Amino acid sequence: MTPVTNRRSLLLAGLTAGVLTTGASGAQSPVVKTSAGKVQGTTEQGIHAFKGIPYGADTRATRFEAPQPPKPWRGLRKALAYGPASPQATNEPNQSEDCLYLNVWTPEIGGKAKRAVMFYIHGGAYSGGSGSAAIYDGVNLAKRGDVVVVTINHRLNAFGYLYLAHLDSRYADSGNVGQLDILLALKWVQENIAAFGGDASRVMVFGQSGGGAKIATMMAMPAAKGLFHRAATMSGQQVTASGPLHAQERTEAFLKTLGITKANLGELKTLPQEKLVAALSTKDPIIGSGGVYFGPVLDMKHLLRHPFYPDAPAQSANIPMMIGNTHDETRAFISDPGVYKLTWEELPERLAKNMRVDILPSVVIEQYKSWFTGISPTDLFFLATTASRSWRAAIIEAEERAKAGTPAYAYQVDWATPDERRRAMHTTDIPLVFDNTDKEGAATGNSEHARKMAAMMSETFIAFAKTGSPNNPLIPSWTPYSMAERETMVFDLPPHLEKDPRGRERKLFEKVPFIQQGT
């Protein structure tokens, strides 16, 4: 091959990797060649969007098994609409086991610039949700930060975490296939994101609630090593995974509901997905209430240790990390109207059921009343439940990183939503980080103050994705969390770096062991 011919081939390869095509109407559509085939997206506000790109094959053929790469296609595949969500017991639309799809937003295709990649993992514990919600739209974030944004769907609940390895060796991966889906999506990014203008060596994973917990788990999974380079968890931690014996008990309870035994285990592969979803309401045999919990399993194959127990995972020591929570986490998911009319007589029993640690409610009540003069039973309830069950894991993770000499950046969102009952609740930071305060489902509203907060938090996450440091002109100087100072960025108007916020509450609840719910 002559040098001229070789150069021409390289140019043609670059053109097919990412081009803009013009349709009959004169509108331009972005086209990118991926490892499985070409995809065509749309352009909005100067940002190219590709929705519903397969990163894995249909899991109906591999139920409870490790995911497989997508089957290549010929011709041009339109990537104009979100792919299906994993089957789940929610009102999430368009559910299917064929759910391994991702979405990409980018300012440029086919160019020379390589942009940081912001890879978002949705919340919903390990049981529900998808990457298709309006508040996850990546246009504003990609435009503001000149970054590439990716969101994904993956298998959830029993489809992603039902542990069957003890019943049949063919399902040796079953307890963690939801995590393996995410790793497959990250491998897709490594192989393909350059064609979308992204830098495969600067991939930040970030996620809220269950998404953050999935990230914490990946930081201890050997197969995840090298697939991402920064990590940010938003109100989502995973100190311990499900132990295999507890996972087996949950599996047995779930299978009993379905009428499945080891003798007829093969039928589990062909049951309609609706029956599996219905069985998710099985009472959890460990927790003793609610639907059965499914999450990552300490299977000694894909997960060889607990994510942040007994210490921070050494394999992720070189990955910069942000760990965040909101001031009023539990106001989002403890929604019983009676909580807002609590009496002092009712409070102890309510606390006992919701703190998720074994401590005398009377001691907690006495302490909070001494700290906050005139506090109401309702406000005490939400402060104590947030401190005992939602903040504890975040503090533990931040402490373990600090002890290991690889400290994380810790933050707390104090800025309150317009809902006086919900305040700075769980999920408050999602539309702020995505700069999507005007989108459906944004609890923040779209006031001037909300937009200021969105500018601040989105710029912070963009800076972290690009450099591994969250510092930027919109916030004060931010130093990582240390055991001596417990530095925490408080996101409010104005933002400020605070030492050991809620320190009295931290000291109260660290007197008792923390056991992560479900594990």
Active site residues: 209, 329, 426
How far is CA 381 from each of CA 330, 339, 443, rounded to the nearest angstrom? 9, 8, 22
Q: Which residues contact 95 (CB under 8 A, 6 or more apart)?
A: 84, 85, 86, 87, 88, 273
Q: Match 């595949």 to its residue by tokens.
A: 77
Q: Which residues contact 161 (CB under 8 A, 6 or more apart)?
A: 126, 174, 175, 176, 177, 178, 242, 294, 295, 296, 297
Please provide residue 141's backbone torsions phi and psi, each rounded to the nearest 5 degrees.
-65, -45
Closest listed residue to residue 294, CA positions, set 280, 304, 276, 277: 280
Beta carbons of 323 and 410 less than 8 angstroms apart: yes
Distance, CA of 308 to CA of 215 (rounded, Å): 11
Dihedral angle over CA of 67, 180, 298, 277, nearest 10: -60
Distance, CA of 115 to CA of 105 (rounded, Å): 12
Beta carbons of 194 and 200 less than 8 angstroms apart: yes
The DSSP result for 329-385, as a single string, is GGGTT---GGGGG--TTTHHHHHHHHS-S---HHHHHHHHHHHSTT--HHHHHHHHH
Give CA 297 to chain center in angstroms. Answer: 17
Contacts 24+ apart (CB under 8 A), 509-513: 509/357, 509/359, 509/387, 509/388, 509/392, 510/392, 510/395, 511/359, 512/357, 512/358, 512/359, 513/357, 513/358
Neighbours of 509 (CB within 10 A): 22
Distance, CA of 385 to CA of 334 (rounded, Å): 10
Beta carbons of 294 and 161 less than 8 angstroms apart: yes
Tokens of 62: 């591999």
Q: Match 């001691």 to its residue by tokens.
A: 363
Helix axis angle for 210-218 and 177-192, nearest 10°, is: 80
- Let me know how long the chain is: 519
Beta carbons of 38 and 72 less than 8 angstroms apart: no
Please provide residue 63's backbone torsions phi and psi, each rounded to the nearest 5 degrees.
-55, 130
Instruction: Map residue 420 onto helix, strand or coil.
Output: coil
Instruction: Map residue 224 onto helix, strand or coil.
Output: helix
